[in-house]
A and B are shown apart, each in its own frame.
Chain A
């Protein structure tokens, strides 16, 4: 969307400016329509709406609410990963800045907001605490004229909730072991392959989301 606004002004640009403005208006209307559909079916507590509002309207109120919920959790996560309180505080703020600037990259058909923020916090930990670079796979994005389907968003967000429920149902010893792996207390050779969590459904949902996305990219 920004790409269109950033289009350089060339001499005689007004000749094709009009269709562009029309296209842009159509795009915004389309996005608003998608949002109203998603609003109805995705429960408020998944935070998907908040990220959309940050992305489309630079909505500081939505950001403040997200911040109020996630920043204390990110700070706790970083402290458990070995950061001092002051470093965790600084890194948390940087994580939330990244969230603001990268809100347009969040894809609710492939991650919950908590999962997405986790990946930003994890990368910050690798960068700031372990002083390493973090190679990430090739970025896949929906083009300006395509969006994930509302039903795919709904199902994925539900699947993410189910994992949280399954986590809390695990025996505490096993849950603690998984947590240790994610706080960086276990090396990869110490990680148990069997998590005891039912991940089959979310894996096939994610696989499906990726193949739909690949189709729109072709």
Chain B
């Protein structure tokens, strides 16, 4: 990714520590890993937080292993190597590839109204990840969140009450933010978003539709 230097909106330290410690729900980790593939600043921070994990491991009180543990491990090693996945050329960063089935062309979009489309990605149930397709100039219905929402821009840009978010930028929204994202004119906007609680739409029609649309 060449947009790296232009990224203005980064992940919070809290999210990065959670990712490095390995305690984020899978949907959040997907957004973080995708952002880290595009942003070396956050990647360096995440690796610094991993170094804390390394220190904890290094100074850990030891536990004894079974007497034949080393022999058993060497026997497993002798059985063969780990299969490595072939690199596939794609229009999305590596971590996202497995979840969309290759590239953005393979995404099965569903309309959520007003031209906006989404695709829920299969992750563990503690949080939800989805791709959002917002046509240039279109509005995502006004919504608030009960938990945390991460929104990473993959293509195009959107603007809400707080700022402009372009490719590579990530918005970290908490309960207090009620926002109405609007895609910028010029290019359709594609985002990867994760929430740990359902969105709360402020008008009743999307609210009724919510359980069926899984947003």
B residues sitting closer than 8 Å to A (CB atoms) are 12-15, 17-18, 21-26, 28-30, 32-34, 36-37, 40-41, 43-45, 47-66, 69-70, 72-74, 76-77, 81-82, 93-96, 98-99, 123-124, 148
Verify A64–B70 contact, CB threshold 8 A: yes
Tell me if B61 and A122 are in contact (CB < 8 A).
no
CB neighbours of B13 from chain A (8 A): 193
Minimum CB–CB distance from A214 to chain B (whole Å) comes to 7
Q: How far is the CA of A71 from the CA of B33 in the complex (A)?
A: 27
The A interface, classified by DSSP as helix, strand, loop or mixed, is: helix
Residue A9 at the chain B interface, CB threshold 8 Å: no
Tier of interface size on chain A: 35 or more
Residue of A64, A121, A134 with most chain B CB atoms under a 10 A cut-off: A134
CB contacts (< 8 Å) of A111 on chain B: these are 47, 50-51, 54
Contact B56 A137 (CB under 8 A): no
Given A115-B50, A195-B52, CB of A214 within 8 Å of CB of B18: no
A to B CB contacts below 8 Å, 11 in the list: A68-B70, A73-B58, A76-B63, A114-B54, A115-B47, A123-B22, A136-B33, A136-B95, A160-B54, A164-B59, A186-B23
Q: How many A-B residue pairs have CB under 8 A?
A: 207
Q: State whether B82 touches A98 (Cβ < 8 A).
A: yes
Contacting residues of chain A (60-108) with chain B, CB-CB under 8 angstroms: 60, 63-64, 67-68, 70-77, 79-80, 85, 88-89, 92-94, 96-98, 100-102
Neighbouring A residues of B69 by C-beta, 8 Å: 67, 71, 89, 92-93
**B77 partner residues in chain A, CB cutoff 8 A:** 97, 100-101
- Most chain B CB within 10 A, of A68, A101, A186, is at A101
